[in-house]
C-alpha cells in the first residue's frame, strides 16, 4: 500500500493551493480526512469534484474541493494560505503519506500510466517551469508531434534514410532548440555600454517602474539591478551592469574591480547583449576591450538619446576598430521619452529568432534529450542510430 502527497502550486500566499494525493491507499486516506458537505458519505467518481472540509479529528482545517482525477489520484484545492497548506500536508504525513516535490509526484503519476514515452513524462515536468504560454505549447507539441513524431519517423524509415540525413536533421533540431529555449526558459539580456549612456533609464522604461537609480553622474550604477519584462512570447530578464565601461581591467581591490568582475560574469552568461550607446557623444565612447568581449555574442545596439543632436558617427566607429556586426542591428531610441522602444522590442524578438518561430517544430527541451541528440548526430552506423533513437523515446530520465 502506498500514498504520496505534494503541493502542486507555487510557494507563498495565493488564492488557491492544490495538494495532490496519489497511490493505492490515497482514496482510503482522503475519505478519512474529508467530510463532504451534506449528509452523504464521500463517494468519489473519476472526473467529479466534491465540496467539503478537511478535518483533523474534530478540528476543521479548511473548506476545500476535491477532484477525483483517477481512482488513485486526488487534487485537494484548499485556500492559498501557506499555513493551511502546511497543516494539510502534516495531516497527510501522519496518515502515512510520503511527502514529495511536485516534480517527484508527477513523475510517479505519469510513469504509472502505461504506454507513455519518456518525452511525455519530461514534457509534463518541463511544462511546470515554462516562462510563457508559447513555451508550454512548444513542450506539449513534442509529445504527439514534434520530437516524438520525428523519432518515430526515423525508426520507421531507418532502412531508407541515410545516416547523413539523420545527422543533419539532428543538427537542425539542436539549432531550433536554442531558439525554443529562449521562449521556454526566457532570455537574459545584459545592458552594457559607456557611462551615462542611459542603460538604467532603459531598464526602468522597459520594467515600467523606477528600479535602477538614474542620474547624470557617470558611474551611477554600481550594483547590478535586474527586471523582467514580457514581449509577447518572450520573457526578457534584463540586467543592468556597472563598471564595464571603466578602462578594463579596473585597479585591484577597488569597488570598480568588483563591479567589473560581476558584470563580466553577467555578460558571459547572457543570451543577448543590449549595447546602449549615446547618440549625443562621439564614436570613441566605447572601450575597444569591451568590443572584443562582446564580439562572440548576439548583440543588439540601442543608439540612445536620439532626441538630442547626433555626434555618433557609425562610419567613424567602424574605422576606429568597432566591429560592423555590432552595428548591424542598431535601433535609435530615446529611453527617456520612450521613442523607438516599440521598434526595439520587435527587434529583440527578431534577433532572438522568436518572432516567427513555429511552435510545432521538433526541438529538445531537456538536457537528457540534448545529450542524446548530440550522440545521434555523430552515430556511426544504422544500428547505433536505431538504439540512440530508441533511447530518445524510452530512455531513463
Ligand X SMILES: Nc1nc2c(ncn2[C@@H]2O[C@H](COP(=O)(O)OP(=O)(O)OP(=O)(O)O)[C@@H](O)[C@H]2O)c(=O)[nH]1
Write out the residues near Mg ion by the rule CB under 5 A: 200, 220-221
Stretch that binds ligand X, among 179-187, 250-258, 301-309, 322-330 (CB under 6 A): 301-309
Site for ligand X in 338-397 (CB under 6 A): none
Contact of residue 195 among ligand X, Mg ion, none (CB under 5-8 Å per partner type): ligand X
Neighbours of 118 (CB within 10 A): 21
N residues, the chain:
397
Q: Quick one: cell of 261?
A: 568582475
Candidate list 20, 132, 141, 304; residue touching ligand X; CB under 6 A: 304
Distance set, CA 269 to CA 166, 272, 279 (Å): 31, 9, 27
Q: Quick one: cell of 54?
A: 478537511
Report the alpha-carbon distance of residue 244 to residue 221 in Å, rounded. Answer: 11
Residue 336 binds ligand X (CB under 6 A): yes
Residue 171 binds ligand X (CB under 6 A): no
Q: Which is nearer to ligand X, 77 or 347 (CB)?
A: 347
Candidate list 127, 134, 141, 200; residue touching ligand X; CB under 6 A: 200
Q: Which is nearer to Mg ion, 123 or 267 (CB)?
A: 267
Q: Which is nearer to ligand X, 14 or 219 (CB)?
A: 219
Neighbours of 113 (CB within 10 A): 10
Candidate list 131, 150, 199, 262; residue touching ligand X; CB under 6 A: 199
Q: Which is nearer to ligand X, 25 or 220 (CB)?
A: 220
Q: Is 149 left (phi over 0), alpha (psi -120 to 50) or beta?
A: alpha
- The pattern of x and - marking residues 177 through 196 that bind ligand X according to CB under 6 A reads ------------------xx
Residue indicated by cell numbers 571603466: 246
Minimum CB separation of residue 331 from ligand X in Å reads 12
Residue 218 binds ligand X (CB under 6 A): yes
Contact of residue 196 among Mg ion, ligand X, none (CB under 5-8 Å per partner type): ligand X
Residue 219 binds ligand X (CB under 6 A): yes
The secondary element (H helix, E strand) that includes residue 188 is strand 187-192
Residue indicated by cell numbers 476543521: 60
Stretch that binds ligand X, among 62-70, 75-83, 107-115, 334-342 (CB under 6 A): 334-342
Residue with the shortest CB distance to Mg ion: 221
Contact of residue 17 among ligand X, Mg ion, none (CB under 5-8 Å per partner type): none
Residue 226 binds ligand X (CB under 6 A): no
- CA torsion, ordered 386, 388, 391, 396, to nearest 10 deg: 160
Q: Which is nearer to ligand X, 55 or 220 (CB)?
A: 220
Neighbours of 78 (CB within 10 A): 23
Eight-class DSSP state of 289: H
Q: SS3 of 61, please?
A: strand
| Spatial CB neighbours of 123, under 8 Å, sequence gap ≥ 6 | 139, 140, 142, 143, 365
Report the alpha-carbon distance of residue 242 to residue 257 in Å, rounded. Answer: 10
Q: Which is nearer to Mg ion, 188 or 221 (CB)?
A: 221
How far is CA 230 from its chain centroid?
12
Number of amino acids touching ligand X (CB under 6 A):
21
Residues that bind ligand X (CB under 6 A): 195-201, 214-216, 218-221, 304-305, 307-308, 334-336
Amino acid at each position: 500500500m502506498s500514498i504520496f502527497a505534494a503541493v502542486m502550486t507555487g510557494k507563498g500566499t495565493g488564492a488557491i493551493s492544490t495538494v495532490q494525493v496519489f497511490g493505492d491507499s490515497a482514496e482510503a486516506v482522503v475519505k478519512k480526512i474529508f467530510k463532504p458537505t451534506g449528509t452523504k458519505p464521500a463517494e468519489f467518481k473519476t472526473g467529479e469534484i466534491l465540496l467539503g472540509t478537511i478535518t483533523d479529528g474534530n478540528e476543521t482545517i479548511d473548506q476545500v474541493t476535491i477532484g477525483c482525477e483517477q481512482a488513485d489520484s486526488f487534487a485537494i484545492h484548499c485556500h492559498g494560505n501557506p499555513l493551511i497548506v502546511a497543516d494539510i500536508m502534516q495531516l497527510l504525513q501522519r496518515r502515512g503519506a510520503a511527502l514529495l516535490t511536485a516534480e517527484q509526484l508527477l513523475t510517479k503519476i505519469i510513469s504509472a500510466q502505461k504506454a507513455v514515452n519518456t518525452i511525455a513524462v519530461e514534457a509534463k515536468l518541463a511544462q511546470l517551469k515554462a516562462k510563457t504560454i508559447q513555451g508550454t505549447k512548444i513542450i506539449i507539441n513534442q509529445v504527439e508531434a514534434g520530437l516524438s513524431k520525428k523519432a518515430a519517423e526515423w525508426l520507421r524509415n531507418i532502412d531508407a534514410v541515410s545516416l547523413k540525413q539523420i545527422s543533419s536533421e539532428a543538427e537542425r533540431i539542436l539549432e531550433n532548440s536554442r531558439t525554443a529555449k529562449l521562449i521556454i526558459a526566457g532570455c537574459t539580456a545584459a545592458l552594457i555600454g559607456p557611462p551615462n549612456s542611459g542603460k538604467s533609464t532603459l531598464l526602468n522604461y522597459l520594467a515600467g517602474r523606477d528600479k535602477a537609480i538614474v542620474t547624470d553622474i557617470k558611474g551611477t550604477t554600481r550594483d547590478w539591478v535586474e527586471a523582467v519584462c514580457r514581449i509577447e512570447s518572450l520573457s526578457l530578464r534584463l540586467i543592468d551592469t556597472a563598471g564595464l565601461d571603466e578602462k578594463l581591467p579596473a585597479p585591484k581591490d577597488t569597488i570598480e574591480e568588483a563591479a567589473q568582475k560581476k558584470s563580466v560574469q553577467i555578460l558571459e552568461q547572457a543570451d543577448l547583449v543590449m549595447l546602449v550607446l549615446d547618440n549625443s557623444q562621439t564614436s570613441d565612447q566605447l572601450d575597444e576591450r569591451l568590443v572584443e568581449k562582446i564580439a562572440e555574442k548576439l548583440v543588439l545596439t540601442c543608439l540612445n538619446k536620439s532626441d538630442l543632436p547626433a555626434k555618433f558617427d557609425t562610419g567613424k566607429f567602424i574605422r576606429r576598430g568597432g566591429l560592423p556586426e555590432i552595428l548591424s542591428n542598431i535601433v535609435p531610441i530615446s529611453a527617456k521619452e520612450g521613442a523607438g522602444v516599440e521598434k526595439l522590442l520587435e527587434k529583440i524578438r527578431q534577433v532572438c529568432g522568436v518572432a516567427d518561430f513555429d511552435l510545432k517544430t521538433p526541438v529538445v527541451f531537456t538536457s537528457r534529450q540534448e545529450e542524446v541528440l548530440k550522440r545521434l548526430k555523430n552515430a556511426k552506423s544504422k544500428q547505433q542510430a536505431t538504439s540512440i533513437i530508441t533511447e530518445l523515446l524510452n530512455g531513463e530520465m
